[in-house]
Amino acid sequence: RISGEVPHLREGFDVAIIGAGPAGSMAARYAAKAKARTLLLEEHPAVGWPVQCAGLLGLGAMAESELPGRSSVLQEMRGAAIFSPGGSRLDFKARAPRASVVDRRLFDRALACEALRAGAEMRLCSPVRGIRREGEESVLSLAGGEEIRASIVISAEGVRGRLARQGGIMPPEVILSGAQVEVPFSVEDPESVELHLGAAPGLFAWVIPTGEEAARIGLCARSRGWQHLQRFLGQEGIRERILGSATAINVGGLPLGPPARTVAEGLLVVGDAAGQVKPTSGGGIYPALVAAKIAGRVAAAAALEEDCSARRLQEYDHTWRAILGRELEIGMRANRMLNRMSAAELDDVLSYLAARPGLIKSIEEHGDIDRPSRLMVRMLRRLDWDGLKLAGLLRYALG
């Protein structure tokens, strides 16, 4: 049920989720499916806005969404063109689609609708200002003075995670500064993403086609992401392909590296607030959906058992780390490695890969943006003596 007004005095909820993004909606769906009385709180007047994501989802993320249709898909991706700072280029293209470009507003709203169908209740325009623990319940203070009680709270509030920090959960290891524009653009290949290494310290720049003459262009940097993006848009090879003014601008933070714990008394933290983002690509939808399902199940079970202690909720922390922890750890090592490499070293590695058809074939057959470590292992097995530098880098990333 969607309700705009709820009486001031009411029976408490088993589980309250803060934030109706993908993580929050999926957690609400799974908590409601487990028969917990579930409330989903969204501060904005509409789900899916503002958009703060590049909207490129791998096969794993699309499968984890469990959405029955593909109405939110704008374009399917089969390959990529990767550029080094010195102009080296690596192209690969799989036979079948490996990722989808989605309309995040439609995608997020579809996930929220599934949560409502499962029995969750949602309130829009309901920013949570504070949270405190009273006995066996959490009390959420909303703007305007209203208070809502719940046995367990799931924070899916995004990168800022203000309420998660208030509850004692530390912030992610690193928060990058991200910026993106949507522009009319001369797209080289509508089925291939462009990645530009070395565009800014932090991650990379991307060009994601949304059609034959439109693209999302963005990057993530350690700081001042918008300034770095403006410089990137003015570079040769990008500037002359822009066909008009931006139709959308998005800025925000990208959290990398989960904190040591993601639970406290009566509190679970999921998604960006928990740093559950792939450090190799900056994608957060896949790990957020995986973790959100676990959070919803554990929160519902604990609430119905009337045991909301941090010790009981550790099941969530242990389970999601068992599934995602190693991949995120490998991603952090790979991210640090790339940021330590000079422009010349990036050129050398990319040139080496581009000259090895066997390695390119491995990328085309086994590339997975949701679990890149699997490809790293396969590539390591195919390297020859000329690839000692790359082998060392892969071994470092894989630990």
Q: Which residues contact 148 (CB under 8 A, 6 or more apart)?
A: 12, 13, 16, 39, 41, 139, 140, 142
257: left (phi over 0), alpha (psi -120 to 50) or beta: left
Beta bridge partners of 305: none
Write the pLDDT tens digit of every residue in 194-242: 999 999 888 899 999 998 899 999 999 999 999 999 999 999 999 999 9
Return the CATH fold of 174-255.
D-Amino Acid Oxidase; Chain A, domain 2 (3.30.9)
Residue 71 has pLDDT above 50, yes or no: yes
| Range list of β-strands (E), the chain | 2-3, 13-18, 38-41, 56-58, 73-77, 79-83, 89-93, 99-102, 121-123, 128-134, 137-142, 147-155, 174-184, 192-197, 202-211, 214-221, 248-256, 263-264, 267-269
Segment 299-320 mean pLDDT: 97
Residue 392 has pLDDT above 80, yes or no: no
pLDDT at residue number 1: 43
Q: Of 94-103, 192-201, 345-354, where does mean pLDDT reach its minimum?
A: 345-354
Segment 379-393 mean pLDDT: 62
Distance between CA 150 and CA 116 in Å, rounded? 18
Segment 237-250 mean pLDDT: 94
Whether 2-50+105-172+258-325 and 174-255 share one fold: the answer is no
Architecture of domain 2-50+105-172+258-325: 3-Layer(bba) Sandwich (3.50)
Nearest in space to 60 (alpha carbons), one of 377, 374, 369: 369
359 with 380: CB under 8 angstroms? no
138 with 174: CB under 8 angstroms? no
4 with 125: CB under 8 angstroms? yes
Distance between CA 399 and CA 396 in Å, rounded? 5
- The residue ranges of every structural domain in the chain are 2-50+105-172+258-325, 174-255, 336-398
What is the residue-averaged pLDDT of the chain? Answer: 90
Q: Which two tokens stand for residue 63?
A: 């499968």
Decide which of 380 and 23 is more confident. 23
Confidence band of 391 (pLDDT split at 50, 70, 90): low
Distance between CA 341 and CA 339 in Å, rounded? 6
